[in-house]
Structure 1
Amino acid sequence: MADYKKDSISLTGAVGLGTGVMISAGIFALLGQVAQLAGAWFPLIFIAGGIVTAFSAYSYIKLSNEFPSAGGIGMFLVQAYGKGTITAAAALLMAISMVINQSLVARTFGTYTLQLFDVDQSSYLVPLLGVGLLTFAFLVNISGNSFIQSFTSIASLLKIAGLAVFGIGGLSVAGFSFAPAESGGNSVDPTIASYIAAVALTILAFKGFTTITNSGSEITKPKKNVGRAIMISISISLLVYLLIAWSVSSNLPLDQIIKTKDYALAEAARPAFGDYGLWFTVGIAIIATISGIIASVFAVSRMLAMLTDMKLIPHKHFGMPGDIQKHTLVYTIVLAMFLTIFFDLSRIASMGAILYLVMDMIIHWGVFKHLREKVGANSVIVLTALSLDAVILAAFIWVKINSDLFVVGVSFVFILLIFAGERFFLKRTA
């Protein structure tokens, strides 16, 4: 059985976990991709993403208040759909989207670290550094909750303070200008679909709040603090995202932001602060990605352990010592390493967005159809969240079909295999 420790995570620790996951991947890995889709006014897309995320978070807060659980989303799905294929498959979609997020952060770590050296970004060192970070995250996670929450809380404070300095400093250099980014000679002409698709990536930047729900029963006074931690984390992340996005927009032309989309913050530090600014930005990126990986691995391993305890997913010990949590840590890290090695940042982000939005829609439908009275949810808010997800997912898929059909195909084959595999497993073990 998995070992869950009640009251082992404080409100501050929960906020640290949430912001640790969000800010690490959200701003460092995705800002350039958002600019590529939305054009000169890309900072405003983060506001849209924050609003959509707030609607989405409503369902999770209501569920957490009624069913606080260390399995978080897995337990929510059981309450809505029972122990069947939909529950198991949707929970795996969530877990895998979080593992995808880990590989996104790991590659971001490698990309930003190499900015300190004259190394091509296509170098094998990017995935190698990412794999090294994932190995470190595994070692930290086997050390226990107390160390994890202390480490992530301190790291979150450091990176938030550092990014605030970067954002305010960059805006100061630009005379606190909030004008759209200059085109730089190559204008981007976004469509309505690409604007909406860009929101999908910002949602991926905010989805770290689910890390908090996945640790529900381990948080002190969960019915009071889970909702608080979620809203505080989203608010802090949105403020940081806006500061950084406007700072980058003020110091780099749009074509340069897009060209250097995998390391746009480091590139923006050069004209604003010179070499010292570059070192400072890369240092913050390293702290942010390390804390993000640790917090995400922490949440996913507990969710997979609970699904295993409920016999909703297959599990093999492979001769490994320790409890189920230790085994799921290994599975999580190995899959993240595979994605880190074989996929680039853009495709990793796209897969993560598609899988997460599908799972999110299943959660909202379950609340509306089966649980709205039990958890006291407002139907209008839940249906609004569901509708926003559907529109954003449709726009994102349409844009990706026209630009990268491969990643859409891989994502949908992956989803079909998960549902088919879970149906086969549950029928065999019934």
Structure 2
Amino acid sequence: MDGESLGLTEGVSIALGGMIGGGIFAVLGVVAQITRDAAWFAFVVAGVVALCAAYSYVKLNELSEGQGGSVTFIQCFLENPDLAGMAGWTLLFGYVGSMAMYAYAFGSYTVGFAVVPDAVAGVPMRPVVSVLMVAGFVGLNLLGAQATGATENLLVGVKAAILLTFGVAGIYYGVNTGQIEAGLERIASIQPVMAAGVSFVAFQGWQLLFYSQESFESPMETIRKAVYASVVAAVGIYVLVGITTLSLAPLSVIEQHPERALAVAADPVVPYGFVVISLAALFSTGSALNATLFSAGYFAKGMLSEDLVPDRVGDASADGVPQRILIMLGGVIAAFAAFGSLSAITSFASLTFIVVFGAMSLLALKQRDQPEVNPIPPAIGAVGAGGFFVVMFWHLYSTERHTFYAVLVIALALVAVETLYFKHEALQEEVTTFERLVEPDGWHDEESASVDDLL
């Protein structure tokens, strides 16, 4: 920290910045591919579940006296450090997926400008731009929290003004030309629920605040207000812009370049609409990555202080986020953004937050005997997340088989690594027992590598 605390404005900016960048510019087109003009309703459904999960986080934070987020909640209420560590690693990879998604969209919008070539000397420019964008925001976060908060205020203010202007103007234009479609006939189908699961990553920004409470003045009150305000504001913006975009963007654009659907829809609505919205996309995805990287860094620092990640990752006693954590996160994000597909990145990140938000809702529901906890919101959060998980997996398996297998492989690999790290002592004991059973006396080489050596 730089000695200056962040307030409610910065809190709302960081939370809203983490949501709008993902929901509008990186996810809207993907959601539209599933449910077409009822995409706005998918955001409403996902927003209700996210708001209930947010209530669960707020109450758990109050009961634990502001000790932190998901990992701390598990340690505080379940007293299971291994489970807390595995949840933390899973969530951290979800943040990496989210930030890679923002960087992917940033690169795609950049090469959409006529002055930027798709490739130079045979090298595609989209991955190059995405990697450079990640490097730039890693450098910004290395400057400190106050630089990050001030930048976030500017970025969120610019993109919110542009999106609201486009949304209102688009509705007016669409009504006058008879193009506005709300997709009401699709609301009663399963498609919006599937799309809501995919869009869930668009609501991950608010819980970032719980991992950087040391940066805020009056953290519990400030974060509670910022969380509720940002989720409601995000839903409103998604609905407004979603209806406009899906009414005006050609189906061919949604299918071929879903991340650019909003810019194409804006072209007939406002002068130089494609350019204006593309610039807003750069602000939006940039602020989303900036906000997420800022708080994910504090989240990783908290895990480091609890001995849930290797000591070589950084120094937990350092002011702010250890530089090594930011650089390591930046490297993994850049790799995902450069080599991953938008669909696979989005699906993996959404599934991660569905699991974690649902688990925190269940944990809050277990505290329903506390007078501060109303059991209805946590119950809605838990049931909603469980439903999203099932329908989303079914959707991927039935319509995007290659994405389904990619997500499954990533998830299994992550679980395997987590198990090896947190259960390596138990595994070592099992291996030692097996060796004693099968090896002749005196055969074992004392200089052979142990499980701990390999880890």
TM-score past 0.5 threshold: yes
Contact 1:103 1:348 survives alignment (8 Å): yes
Q: Does 1:219 find its partner at 2:216? A: yes
> Runs of 5+ in structure 2 lacking a partner?
429-451
Q: Does 1:74 find its partner at 2:78? A: no
Map of 2:34 onto structure 1: 37
Aligned length, in residue pairs: 418
TM-score (norm 2): 0.84
Letter in 1 for 2:298: R
Map of 1:167 onto structure 2: 167
| Aligned residue among 217, 232, 235 for 2:232 | 235
Shift, 1:173, TM fit: 2.0
Instruction: Map Cα deviations across residues 238-286 of structure 1 (whole Å, 9 max, x no partner).
Output: 1211221111123124443233312111121233336x11111111111
- C-alpha change, 1:123 and 1:50, in structure 2 (3 Å) is farther
Shift, 1:191, TM fit: 9.3
Q: Does 1:278 find its partner at 2:274? A: yes
Q: Does 1:61 find its partner at 2:24? A: no
Map of 2:100 onto structure 1: 103
Larger Rg: 2
- C-alpha change, 1:167 and 1:189, in structure 2 (3 Å) is closer
Structure-1 separation of matches of 2:361 and 2:425: 24
Tell me, what secondary structure is at the counterpart of 2:269? helix
The 5 A counterparts of 1:360-379 are 360-369=357-366, 371-373=367-369, 376-379=372-375
Structure-1 separation of matches of 2:336 and 2:381: 30
Tell me, what secondary structure is at the counterpart of 2:227? helix
Structure-1 separation of matches of 2:252 and 2:191: 17
| Aligned residue among 294, 297, 300 for 1:298 | 294
- C-alpha change, 1:6 and 1:218, in structure 2 (3 Å) is farther
Contact 2:37 2:247 survives alignment (8 Å): no
Structure-2 separation of matches of 1:159 and 1:418: 38
Map of 1:180 onto structure 2: 181
Contact 1:26 1:206 survives alignment (8 Å): yes
Which segments of structure 1 move beyond 6 Å, counting only runs of 4 or more?
Answer: 188-191
Percent of aligned pairs sharing the same letter = 22
Tell me, what secondary structure is at the counterpart of 2:235? helix
Shift, 1:423, TM fit: 2.5
Q: Does 1:390 find its partner at 2:386? A: yes
Structure-2 separation of matches of 1:97 and 1:157: 26
Structure-1 separation of matches of 2:164 and 2:373: 36
Tell me, what secondary structure is at the counterpart of 2:267? helix
Cα root mean square deviation, aligned? 2.8
Map of 2:422 onto structure 1: 423
Structure-2 separation of matches of 1:13 and 1:325: 22
Letter in 1 for 2:311: H
Map of 1:16 onto structure 2: 13
Contact 1:109 1:285 survives alignment (8 Å): yes
Deviates more, 1:166-175 or 1:250-259: 250-259
Instruction: Map Cα deviations across residues 12-39 of structure 1 (whole Å, 9 max, x no partner).
Output: 1111100111111110011111111112
The 5 A counterparts of 1:318-337 are 325-337=322-334
Map of 2:437 onto structure 1: none
Contact 2:59 2:364 survives alignment (8 Å): no
Map of 1:131 onto structure 2: 131
Structure-2 separation of matches of 1:348 and 1:213: 24
Instruction: Map Cα deviations across residues 144-203 of structure 1 (whole Å, 9 max, x no partner).
Output: 111111110121111100111121222222236684279xxxxx9999443211001222
Q: Does 1:198 find its partner at 2:195? A: yes
Q: Does 1:248 find its partner at 2:245? A: yes
Map of 1:257 onto structure 2: 254
Q: Does 1:314 find its partner at 2:310? A: yes
Structure-2 separation of matches of 1:85 and 1:111: 39
Structure-1 separation of matches of 2:243 and 2:156: 21
Shift, 1:206, TM fit: 1.2
Bigger relative contact order, structure 1 or 2, given CA contacts below 8 A and separation 6+?
A: 1
Map of 1:407 onto structure 2: 406
Structure-2 separation of matches of 1:414 and 1:178: 46
Tell me, what secondary structure is at the counterpart of 2:283? helix
> Runs of 5+ in structure 1 lacking a partner?
183-187
Deviates more, 1:26-35 or 1:77-86: 77-86
Shift, 1:387, TM fit: 0.9
Q: Does 1:27 find its partner at 2:28? A: no
Structure-2 separation of matches of 1:287 and 1:97: 22
Map of 1:93 onto structure 2: 90
Map of 1:141 onto structure 2: 141
Structure-1 separation of matches of 2:67 and 2:328: 18
Contact 1:90 1:362 survives alignment (8 Å): no
Structure-1 separation of matches of 2:173 and 2:140: 39
Structure-1 separation of matches of 2:45 and 2:19: 16
